[in-house]
Amino acid sequence: MYDVNAVRAQFPVFQRKVNGKPLVYLDSTATSQKPLAVIEAMDEFYLRYNSNVHRGIHTLSEEATAAYEGARERIARFINARSSREVIYTRNTTEAINLVAYAWGRANLKPGDAVLITEMEHHSNIVPWQILRDLVDIELRVVPVTDDGYLDMEALDRLLDERVKLVSITHMSNVLGTINPVEEIARKAHAVGALILVDGAQSVPHLPVDVQALDIDFLAFSGHKMCGPTGIGVLWGREEILEAMPPFMGGGDMIRRVTLERSTWADLPHKFEAGTPAIAEAIGLGAAVDFLSSLGMANVRQHEIEITAYALEALSEVPRLRLFGPRNPHHKGGVMAFTLGAVHAHDVAAVLDREGIAVRAGHHCAQPLMQRYGVVATTRASFYLYTTFEEVDCLVEALHKVEEVFA
């Protein structure tokens, strides 16, 4: 049995109060809270063996390198990569997608080629391709979203032809919560000779993700959304594709040999990791992966399905509330983006904060999706492995107070 209270006990932040009330943290889509195991792993690095990696033969450097590379190996197992050589450390999902756009895109795309994205993408999976379009004169195609928050798969089939060289798609929408059929889309992409990049910023923290079973080519995700620290993310790619790509950045640690005339590159994964890395953060991400693995990602997903189903029913009782995205909890992550009558999203969030409830308000880095649904902003409550049914009740009760304030 999944004991959410035992899980919550491992997160120090839940001991605090906000505005005199117990903290109800419903902003995990933006960033998750951190368990004590992650905090302690990073503290131990700084307290006991702080040193640079890959460069020293002294004890501290060897210990730091072992912890840093050990984390990479555990991350590889977590997503079922064939090898830790396929796991590239980045700062976050955004940098990982930019790495593909810059290194793979500039080397492989030519005028007239197309990249296919969707209307529900985060800006991180739109802007890099727009920049590349303007540099290389490629075409950027967009799959529309239906009224109920799903991808229009018929439109995808029409847009996906042999001119498309890459499909870049979110696995789980950070606004709608929609879980897209990545395995099916990967099969369709490969049938026309295209690669597929998956934005896993929301999916990797919330459900089992197996890169081999999905049969994808790239996966990008961030540590801070999966109980890890900020400043560390991952690009996973098929080894043969990464081997053929030029470096993203040049500098120390990504080279084999440098002369004043030319340089040669280090082996994977270090070819893409220039300069001193985020060592403590990588160690923290390794600890986060250990924590999630100990819970079991299938258990994390099942808990979220139950919380989402409960919230969908509870929120339906709030007058004037318009909820965006699928209504089937099996097709949706724990993301509830909504408007409340004519009350601005920021005002809703401010009243909720007075009740100790943390939510997000704004366009959620998804302005094209806001335009699709004819809104400027939404309020977003998001759930995770530590969310309780009682916290959903607190949200609903507080939304009724918002109605009273702005009646």
Q: 89-124 pLDDT, tens per residue?
A: 999 999 999 999 999 999 999 999 999 999 999 999
Question: Half-sphere exposure of 213 toward its Cβ, with a 13 Å CA cutoff?
Answer: 7
Question: What would the pLDDT profile of 184-230 be if each residue is shown by its tens digit?
Answer: 999 999 999 999 999 999 999 999 999 999 999 999 999 999 999 99
Average pLDDT estimate for 295-314: 98
Span 373-381, average pLDDT: 98
Domains of the chain: 4-27+296-405 (3.90.1150.10), 49-294 (3.40.640.10)
**For helices 59-78 and 279-295, what crossing angle results, to 10°?**
40
The verdict on whether 365 is a catalytic residue reads yes
**Residue-wise pLDDT tens digits, 154-164:** 999 999 999 99
Q: What angle do CA 35, 40, 45 make, to 5 degrees?
A: 140
Catalytic, out of 153, 155, 365, 396: 365
3-state SS assignment for residue 39: helix
Whole-angstrom distance, CA of residue 257 vs CA of residue 253: 10
Query: What residue type is assigned to position 27 of the chain?
Result: D
C-alpha–C-alpha distance, residues 298 and 255, integer Å: 40
For the cut 90, the answer to whether the pLDDT of residue 24 exceeds it is yes
- Residue 1: pLDDT band by 50, 70, 90 thresholds? confident
Written as six digits, the tokens of 56 are: 């020293």
Q: Where are the alpha helices (DSSP H) in 169-278?
A: 182-191, 211-214, 239-244
Question: Is the Cα dihedral 362, 364, 365, 370 positive or negative?
Answer: negative
pTM of the predicted model, to two decimals?
0.97
pLDDT at 25: 98
Quote the percentage of the chain above a pLDDT of 70.
100
